[in-house]
Structures are given as structure tokens and as C-alpha cells.
């Protein structure tokens, strides 16, 4: 997978959700290309193990707690004088609706609010060092339905969390589009493909599919990590800033709400209020 023209020596990459699955695979490959990788995870043992294995640094944060996201940002800013890439890869799907200590539905917080907050807290350093932002979205954005008056999914049926998950991935695409528009920073989102990891392992549809396929469902983590590695390494990325990639192909299929005028901006403004950044941002 490594190519001579993708040398990342001297680059600092912050990778969330890096202790397992495609995040772990991406961390290994990025380090192999010479990058200094900040391995961010919520499991202490796994996060420390992968950081030690690749010669990176371990940082702990549970995105169900926004205070831990703020502490993570402080720790990263104290440790690094440059960040070349922030890869927002942490997140997941929960089969039963639950509320975090911050008062938000878990999927919405971990998949959207937490990376939104982290990105904005690190943005001054990213901008000053010419960095870029990459966020893991999903083809599941097509099943999403964003309702700014029901971000916590209180008024709609849960159905195992799949539409809520798809909605947060639509939010990821909108966030990256708006981040690029407001700041000019290089920013991209991507669908990794269906990857055979522990993601959504408690969801009934995946249990059935994995049983039928004898555990052979989906891409290997290394394959799923390929778009993330490409977007972190390519110079330049051959796509319009803010683009959504379906694996390695720019301008993947998106929910029609992704083109709704003003929606990305409205989501941004609402998110600023929810994470307590009102009056603190330039963009």
C-alpha cells in the first residue's frame, strides 16, 4: 500500500478512533509512511498498544463526554506545534437510543458534535500550519433525514438507530462542506465501504448478515482505511475542496438534503450553540 510519492515524514496526523478497525489500520499505514501519529481512542489498553507499536503517542477521549473532547484538544495543542491532518474517524451506531451526560443523543454527539467541537478547537493551529481535515462519513447518509428541530431524535421512531446513524453521516458531509466554505481549509469526507470490523456488532441486521456470510462480510480494515490514507497523503487531492468521496472516487452519491440551500450553515450555527462555542469562533 505504501508508495514512494506518499512520504509523510515530518507530518503530524491526529487520528481519532485509531485503536481498532479501519482507524487502527490507517494508523499503521500512516506511520509506515513516516508520519507522527497521535493515536486517539477511548480504550486505554488498545490505544496505548497501537501507539507503542507504531511509535506514536496515545491520547484518551470518550466522545460521549464533551469535557473529554475539550481536554483532548488542550492536550494536543500542548503537545504539538503543528497538525498537518486531523482525521475524524471515531463514532459508531447504537441499537438503543440513549442520552449522554451532556444531554445529547449518543449517536448525534459521538458522530457529529464531538468531532465538530474538536475540529473547531484545533482549527487555529490547523489553519496556521496549512493542515487539512478528513472525516469518515458513510453511504448510509442516503438513508438519513436531518431535522434541525429533532437533532436528539426525540420525535421519531428509533428503528435500531440506523436512520439516526445515517443522519449523522449526512451531518458529517454537511459539516465538511461548510468547514471548507467558511475557512478555506482543505477538508474532505469519505465513505470507506462496508468494512468487516466490530462496528454495529450488536445490531440485528449485521448479526444476521455475518452469520450468513460465516463472518466474511465486508472489506478488510486495511481496504476500508485506503480512502483515509489517500486523503491524508495526497498532495494535492484531486477534487473540489469540501468533496465527499465514495471510497477513492470524488463526488459520491449523497442524500438530496446535502444540496439543500442553507442547511449546512444552519447545522453549523446550531452546533456552535450546542457545544458552547457561540461568540468564540471566527468562522
Model pLDDT for residues 176-207, shown as the tens digit of each residue: 999 999 999 999 999 999 866 544 445 454 44
Rounded to the nearest 10 degrees, how much is the dihedral formed by the CA atoms of 39, 41, 45, 50?
-30
The pLDDT-based confidence of 215 (bands split at 50, 70, 90) is very low
Model pLDDT, residue 206: 47
- Residue 190's DSSP bridge partners are 136, 245
Is residue 271 within a helix (H) or strand (E), and if so which, with residue range? helix 263-274
- 155-170 per-position pLDDT tens digit: 999 999 999 999 999 9
Residues 139 and 252 sit within 8 Å (Cβ to Cβ): yes
State the Cα–Cα distance between residues 25 and 144, nearest whole angstrom: 27
pTM of the model: 0.91
As a whole number, mean pLDDT of residues 66-79 equals 98
- Residue 87: phi and psi, rounded to 5, are -110, 105
C-alpha cell at 118: 474538536
State the Cα–Cα distance between residues 250 and 234, nearest whole angstrom: 13
State the Cα–Cα distance between residues 109 and 105, nearest whole angstrom: 6
Q: Which domains, from first to last, does the chain contain? A: 7-273 (3.40.50.720)
Q: What is the DSSP letter of 246?
A: E
188 is an active site residue: no
State the Cα–Cα distance between residues 8 and 272, nearest whole angstrom: 33
State the Cα–Cα distance between residues 108 and 171, nearest whole angstrom: 9
Q: Please state, for a pLDDT cut of 70, what percent of the chain lies above it.
A: 89
Model pLDDT, residue 282: 67
Beta strands in 17-68 (DSSP E): 36-41, 57-60
Model pLDDT, residue 194: 80
- Per the listing, cell 500542548 goes with 78
List 165, 188, 230, 244, catalytic entry: 165
State the Cα–Cα distance between residues 87 and 135, nearest whole angstrom: 6
State the Cα–Cα distance between residues 242 and 184, nearest whole angstrom: 9
Does residue 210 register a pLDDT over 50?
A: no
CA 76 to centroid of chain Cα atoms: 17
Amino acid at each position: 500500500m505504501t508508495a514512494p510519492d506518499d512520504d509523510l515524514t515530518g507530518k503530524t496526523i491526529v487520528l481519532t478512533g485509531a485503536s481498532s478497525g479501519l482507524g487502527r489500520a490507517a494508523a499503521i499505514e500512516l506511520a509506515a509512511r513516516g508520519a507522527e501519529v497521535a493515536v486517539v481512542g477511548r480504550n486505554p489498553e488498545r490505544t496505548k498498544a497501537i501507539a507503542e507499536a507504531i511509535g506514536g503517542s496515545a491520547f484518551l477521549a470518550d466522545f460521549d463526554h464533551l469535557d473529554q473532547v475539550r481536554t483532548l484538544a488542550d492536550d494536543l495543542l500542548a503537545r504539538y506545534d503543528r497538525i498537518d491532518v486531523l482525521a475524524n474517524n471515531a463514532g459508531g451506531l447504537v441499537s438503543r437510543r440513549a442520552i449522554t451526560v451532556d444531554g445529547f443523543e449518543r449517536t448525534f454527539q459521538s458522530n457529529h458534535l464531538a468531532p465538530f467541537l474538536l475540529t473547531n478547537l484545533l482549527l487555529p493551529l490547523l489553519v496556521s500550519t496549512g493542515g487539512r481535515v478528513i472525516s469518515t462519513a458513510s453511504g448510509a447518509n442516503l438513508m438519513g433525514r436531518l431535522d434541525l428541530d429533532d437533532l436528539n431524535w426525540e420525535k421519531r421512531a428509533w428503528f435500531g438507530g440506523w436512520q439516526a446513524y445515517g443522519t449523522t453521516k449526512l451531518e458529517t458531509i454537511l459539516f465538511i462542506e461548510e468547514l471548507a466554505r467558511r475557512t478555506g481549509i482543505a477538508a474532505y469526507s469519505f465513505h470507506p465501504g462496508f468494512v468487516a470490523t466490530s462496528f454495529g456488532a450488536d445490531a440485528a441486521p449485521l448479526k444476521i448478515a455475518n452469520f450468513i456470510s460465516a463472518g466474511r462480510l465486508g472489506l478488510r480494515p486495511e481496504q476500508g482505511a485506503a480512502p483515509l490514507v489517500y486523503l491524508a497523503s495526497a498532495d494535492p487531492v484531486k477534487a473540489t475542496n469540501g468533496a465527499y468521496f465514495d471510497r477513492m472516487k470524488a463526488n459520491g452519491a449523497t442524500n438530496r438534503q446535502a444540496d439543500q440551500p442553507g442547511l449546512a450553515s444552519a447545522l453549523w450555527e446550531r452546533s456552535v450553540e450546542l457545544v458552547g462555542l457561540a461568540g468564540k469562533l471566527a468562522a
